A and B are shown apart, each in its own frame.
Chain A
């Protein structure tokens, strides 16, 4: 590498410091919870004295296991519905000569701008008063989907604009019926986008508090347990809970990161 002159080195150094400061701003609170979760003294954890006690206590909390299971169920249900709707919407919008494409896309994105707590309350009222559906896991899944589908749609749309729909025409000319075309050609080319949307809507459903809280009645989920615990003052088990949830979410984000790399390799290869 060519010698970097001192001025340029100064600029690069400054940029690095700013980047690190930004990451610190984003992640320190999260890391601090993780740190607290293994500290014997949570009030003033310096110097550090490690303990696994809070995790132990969390594990024997019966609510925790049920809550984890329920959150996973809500996450999976939300992810399945959101991905299905978002994929269909994105394909419909891009594949066919649709009029008012922009307006249709914006209407899919509108839930992003509605406060989640309003979605929570209004779906509760609507489900109970109009449809007569009680609060339970299923209605929490449906309510979460109204919100997550927007994110899933964004993720898929961003990828699908790069897909060349003429490949579908090629498949049809060579004898593939529409569903076969999707299975043989479309999906193998767009699956990273679909999986990315699935993971993101899973995380949203899994983590969601406001929408879930109003629609799930008294059934515990991890975020509602955290909220419930908070009302009796902050218990150290909460740190352990938060850390476990964050670890899970970061693991999934890492999968997305891998997908972006693989997806870029697979989808981004120019044809010439």
Chain B
């Protein structure tokens, strides 16, 4: 996608005092892409977004939007849209005035503003609410207004900074689908910053995982999810079990480890050599669970006892104590025949469900 990249970030660096908030990041984002920038708080993702918007100037590096070098341009000359955390709707303006603000700043006529307003109010399903003030809206409505304001001028790029962080869980699920629809129907590239992996995985096409100012991995979301490139990504994406052991034997792609007396095989993802202290990151939903022998077709097998079953609605978490006294979490359907508290079960999982990193492969 490098030939049609709408956003190109080259070796961008930003320090705050002694802290390297963004540490030499390069990234390209395509013209119709939904791109998620995922990272824990303090990883530099918001700073990177602010550098793209022009609200923060990088110490080093270049930012290009639509083929133009905008590194030295102030935000008001960048033709971007943005959706802010906490919505940040102007409290003294009505919904309609908030939404048409970008058009007004561009000097568009009142007639044109009115037309575009009608279109976008319909698009975000807020018809008839143009005369309200922000304090009269619900959280979800405010979010739609903030998105409408970001999109009405059809910017080259829409930046979203944790836009759903302040919504409750139900509403967030609904808005995730909504936001995804806006992106698909308008074809505007979205750069979506979040610390919530679920949001990133639900909405994006590609994603980057950011940690300590740098990019740990960039790629299609399934690739990031299924084949984490670093120990940090493995620990941050998915809700994996983390099994500490020692590498025993290495046959290129696979690594045999000793986990407290139990032998397991995983994908050799890092630089572990036989003898190294390692960690196996094992996705809880990839583990098959059943009464003895049911999970036998998998390469990794172990026996254990169900200590507890945590009902989560559509699925359940099974806490299984393995025979070496370490507990694993297995996600599965809410009921599995023959599996109840204190039942003996067999767990099994394929090699590719488990990624093994040496403990030296960077801090998670």
Chain A contact residues, CB within 8 Å of chain B: 164, 166-167, 169-177, 180, 184-185, 188-189, 266, 269-272
B37-63 interface with A by 8 A CB criterion: 53-55
Taking a contact as CB atoms under 8 Å apart, the answer to whether B82 and A176 are in contact is no
Q: Which of B91, B105, B166 contacts A174 (CB 8 A)?
A: B105
Instruction: State whether A173 and B92 are in contact (beta carbons under 8 Å apart), knowing that A180-B105, A271-B87, A272-B139 are contacts in the complex.
Output: no
Q: List 5 A-B contacts (CB under 8 A).
A: A171-B105, A173-B82, A174-B82, A266-B92, A271-B91
Q: Which chain A residues lie closer than 8 Å to B142 at the CB level?
A: 271
**CB of B86 within 8 A of chain A?**
yes
Taking a contact as CB atoms under 8 Å apart, the answer to whether B90 and A169 are in contact is no
Taking a contact as CB atoms under 8 Å apart, the answer to whether A175 and B102 are in contact is yes
Against A, the Cβ 8 Å flags (1 = close, 0 = not) of B81-107 are 110101111111000000001100110
Chain B contact residues, CB within 8 Å of chain A: 53-55, 74-76, 78-82, 84, 86-92, 101-102, 105-106, 134-135, 139, 142, 149, 153, 166
Q: Which of A164, A173, A270, A271 contacts B75 (CB 8 A)?
A: A173
Q: Which of B75, B92, B135 contacts A172 (CB 8 A)?
A: B75
Q: Which of B55, B91, B135 contacts A173 (CB 8 A)?
A: B55
Distance of B48 from chain A, by nearest CB (Å):
15
| Residue picked from A171, A172, A174, A269, most chain B C-beta under 10 Å | A174
Which single residue of chain A is at the shortest CB-CB distance from B97? Answer: A184
Taking a contact as CB atoms under 8 Å apart, the answer to whether B101 and A174 are in contact is yes
Taking a contact as CB atoms under 8 Å apart, the answer to whether B90 and A185 are in contact is yes
Taking a contact as CB atoms under 8 Å apart, the answer to whether B106 and A172 are in contact is no
Report how far A173 CA is from B155 CA in the complex, Å.
Answer: 11
Taking a contact as CB atoms under 8 Å apart, the answer to whether B53 and A173 are in contact is yes
Instruction: State whether A169 and B149 are in contact (beta carbons under 8 Å apart), knowing that A175-B102, A175-B106, A269-B91 are contacts in the complex.
Output: no
Distance of A162 from chain B, by nearest CB (Å):
11
Instruction: State whether A271 and B105 are in contact (beta carbons under 8 Å apart), knowing that A172-B55, A174-B149, A177-B76 are contacts in the complex.
Output: no
| Residue picked from A172, A175, A177, A266, most chain B C-beta under 10 Å | A175
